[in-house]
């Protein structure tokens, strides 16, 4: 059987993405094949596509982009337990999510709660796991002494930030979240005190609080120096998006190799299903418009989690 996928064989702008008809991928040991119902766009997808993060001039073989996926299990490889054909799941695709069929490691999949749409399910894996990891690395994880702590989150209106803000607030943390002017009300609705980013950001935070326990930079837009000053030392700050700034200032950069919080995705998905948490806003594009979706995410022209449906 064949099915459609988006792929690129050279690095470049959105024009390098093309729709191809390919043989359905076959699940190896520990893997399942999903009939994809939705995949979501993360900034990493277009950062990788440009080649800026590569050490060679071209991909070794054509790349199907995307990590975030939600779909129905339709084939199961050897040594898979606990996941069966017909299960509705969400998680990370291994080998590309922008496709009608995608492979995923069974062990990393989470059951999709019935009350969560496919689009929302696909929007969660990367941002939810990253948000929970960031909070845990800052000492604001489940079971930590979090009540009354003051946390500054940059990019509180973004994919990672929307989740980190809500989870921190639910743990009794006082969150001050930065966003652009158009999203300040959205950040307030998550239970945080919104502060506009840009020139004078640190002063605006100081108008709200005279004490900051920790800072989580999810935006990566040059605020690290201000965050270190606000928190009082570099070890109270974490960034997931500003590697050079982290190197320069001695701030911890987390890329994910430092371990995910077990059950993070299931916890947030359950919270969306039972109304404890708001899902990120989703905007849906057909698979054919993957390039436009990536550009709209890169430029910030469209807010929310951008989701592709085959
Ligand atoms: N290391 C990891 O494990 C990991 C995992 C996931 C993501 N990331 C990285 O984390 C970053 C955020 O990802 P995301 O999915 O949350 O992105 P996103 O949904 O595109 O959100 C971007 C956020 O940045 C804010 N922003 C835009 N311009 C800004 C500026 N000049 N100053 C301060 N904030 C600004 C946006 O605010 P407005 O929309 O209100 O303007 C928004 O809140 C990306 O660089 C991504 O690659 C890293």
pLDDT tens digits along 8-53: 999 999 999 999 999 999 999 999 999 999 999 999 999 999 999 9
pLDDT of residue 45: 97
Q: Tell which one of 53, 129, 160, 215 to mutate to probe ligand 1, the residue whose CB is within 8 A of the most ligand atoms.
A: 160
Mean of pLDDT over the chain: 97
Give residue 261's pLDDT: 95
At 259 the pLDDT is: 85
Per-residue confidence (pLDDT) for residue 141, from 0 to 100 = 97
Nearest CA to ligand 1 atom 4: 240
pTM given for the model? 0.97
The residue count for the chain: 310
- Joined tokens for residue 29: 């040991």
pLDDT at residue number 257: 83
Cβ of residue 222 lying under 6 Å from some atom of ligand 1? no
Measured CA to CA, the distance from residue 77 to residue 95 in angstroms comes to 15
Burial 93-112 (b: 16+ CB within 10 A, else e): bbebbbbbbbbbbbebbbbb
Residue 49 confidence (pLDDT): 98
The Å distance, Cα 242 to ligand 1 centre, comes to: 10
Q: What pLDDT does residue 258 have?
A: 85
Nearest-angstrom CA–CA distance, 33 and 62:
19
Give me the residues of the chain with pLDDT under 70, please: none
Q: What is the pLDDT of residue 115?
A: 92
Residue whose C-alpha is closest to residue 224's, from 261, 196, 249, 254: 249
- Give the integer Cα–Cα distance in Å for 205 and 209: 6
Do the Cβ atoms of 294 and 14 come closer than 8 Å?
A: yes
Q: Does ligand 1 lie within 6 Å of residue 43's CB atom?
A: yes
What is d(CA 285, CA 66) in angstroms, rounded to the nearest whole number? Answer: 14
Q: Report d(CA 262, CA 35) in Å as an integer.
A: 25
Which atom of ligand 1 sits closest to the CA of residue 156?
A: 43
| Closest ligand 1 atom number to CA of residue 256 | 3
**Residue 220: predicted pLDDT:** 98
Q: Which two tokens stand for residue 167?
A: 């989870």
Nearest residue (CA) to ligand 1, atom 22:
158
Structure-derived torsion over alpha carbons of residues 127, 66, 179, 238, reported in degrees to the nearest 10: 50
Report how far residue 84's alpha carbon sits from residue 74's, in angstroms, rounded to the nearest whole number: 8
Is 129 close to ligand 1, i.e. is its CB under 6 Å away? no
How far apart CA 287 and CA 41 sit, in angstroms, is: 11
CA of 218 to the centre of ligand 1 (A): 5
DSSP reduced 3-state for 252: strand
Strand partners, 237: 215
Taking the CA of residue 297 as reference, the ligand 1 atom at the shortest distance is 20
Biggest CA–CA distance in the chain, Å, is 62
């Amino acid at each position: 059987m064949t099915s459609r996928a988006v792929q690129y064989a050279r690095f470049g702008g959105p024009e390098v993405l093309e729709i191809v008809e390919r043989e359905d991928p076959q699940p190896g040991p520990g893997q399942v094949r999903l009939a994809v119902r939705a995949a979501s766009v993360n900034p990493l997808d277009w950062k990788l596509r440009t080649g800026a993060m590569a050490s060679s001039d071209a991909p070794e073989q054509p790349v199907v982009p995307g990590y975030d996926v939600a779909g129905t299990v339709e084939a199961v490889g050897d040594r898979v337990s606990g996941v069966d054909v017909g299960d509705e799941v969400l998680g990370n695709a291994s080998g590309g999510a922008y496709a009608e069929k995608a492979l995923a490691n069974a062990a990393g999949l989470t059951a999709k709660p019935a009350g969560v749409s496919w689009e929302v399910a696909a929007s969660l894996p990367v941002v939810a796991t990253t948000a929970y990891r960031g909070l845990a690395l800052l000492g604001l994880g489940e079971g930590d002494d979090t009540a009354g702590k003051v946390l500054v989150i940059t990019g509180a209106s973004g994919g990672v930030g929307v989740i980190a803000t809500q989870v921190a607030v639910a743990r009794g943390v006082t969150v001050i979240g930065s966003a652009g002017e158009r999203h300040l009300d959205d950040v307030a609705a998550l239970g945080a005190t919104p502060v506009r980013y840009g020139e004078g950001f640190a002063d605006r935070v100081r108008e709200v609080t005279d004490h900051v326990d920790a800072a989580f930079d999810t935006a990566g837009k040059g605020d690290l120096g201000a965050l270190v000053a606000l928190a009082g030392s570099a070890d109270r700050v974490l960034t997931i998006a500003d590697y050079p700034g982290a190197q320069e200032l001695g701030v911890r950069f987390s890329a994910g190799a430092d371990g995910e919080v077990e059950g993070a995705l299931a916890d947030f998905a359950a919270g969306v299903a039972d109304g404890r948490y708001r899902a990120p806003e989703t905007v849906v594009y057909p698979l054919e418009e993957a390039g436009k979706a990536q550009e709209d995410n890169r430029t910030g022209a469209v807010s929310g989690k951008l989701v592709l449906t085959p």
